[in-house]
Amino acid sequence: MTVILIIFILITAGLIVASIKTKGKTRKILLTLLLIVLLIPLSLILLIKPSQQGKIFPHWGKISLLFSEPDDLWIPLAQATLKRNMQEYVFPLSHKYVGHYNIEILFSDKNINVWAIDKSDISMSVSFYDNETVLFSKTSSYAGGFKGSRGSGLTFIRYSLPEDLPINKKLRAKIVIMGNIDDFMKKYGDAKIIIKKGSDL
């Protein structure tokens, strides 16, 4: 980002100097180029918030999330404690930002070795509803482990907005966990089901 800013400053400075030193048509062309160089980044900056919220240019919104994160970007949209005798979880939610989202199991034990977990113990499916209409469904065929500052866990399902679901709309997510939950929790301890923003890289 710093390199891009330096290049932008150098180009702008070069155009300013060149337009001062020249006359006639060349000066008009240089001034036009200078105006374009100044307006494009200014326009992109002004479009960050609406594009991140999917109102316009969602592709620019995804890119801008990489360097201009809203304060609430990583707050889970929904979460619940995993229970031994419960297979279905229903969450009301609304997606505020474009990009990738994950449905995860986050373990209470942050030191758990997620790479050693038998990922075939349980699987997961999700269906998103607008009233009674199913807008999107997906079943996990693979669980990917993650470990970091936010904890340790397994990512079961990934989806993307606005490709898979509408943005800024109240929906209902129904998650079904398949497999021996009781045995899974005996092996790996307490955990939460979480729906949250994922990385756009």
- Beta-carbon-side half-sphere exposure of residue 164 (alpha carbons within 13 Å): 20
Q: Is 22 exposed, middle or buried (0-12, 13-18, 19+ CB in 10 A)?
A: middle
- CA-to-CA distance for 84 and 193, rounded, in angstroms? 13
Q: Report the predicted TM-score, pTM, of the whole model to 2 decimal places.
A: 0.75
**Per-residue model confidence as pLDDT tens digits over 93-152:** 999 999 999 999 999 988 888 888 877 778 999 999 999 999 999 998 678 888 877 788
CATH number of 78-197: 2.60.120.790
**Per-residue model confidence as pLDDT tens digits over 39-81:** 666 656 666 777 777 777 777 777 877 777 888 888 999 999 9
* Cα torsion angle, 90, 94, 99, 105, sign: negative
User: Hey, what's the torsion of the CAs at 58, 62, 68, 69, to 10 degrees?
Assistant: 100
Least confident of 4-13, 123-132, 134-143, 157-166: 4-13
Alpha-carbon distance values, 79 to 33, 94, 169, 191 (Å): 51, 13, 18, 10
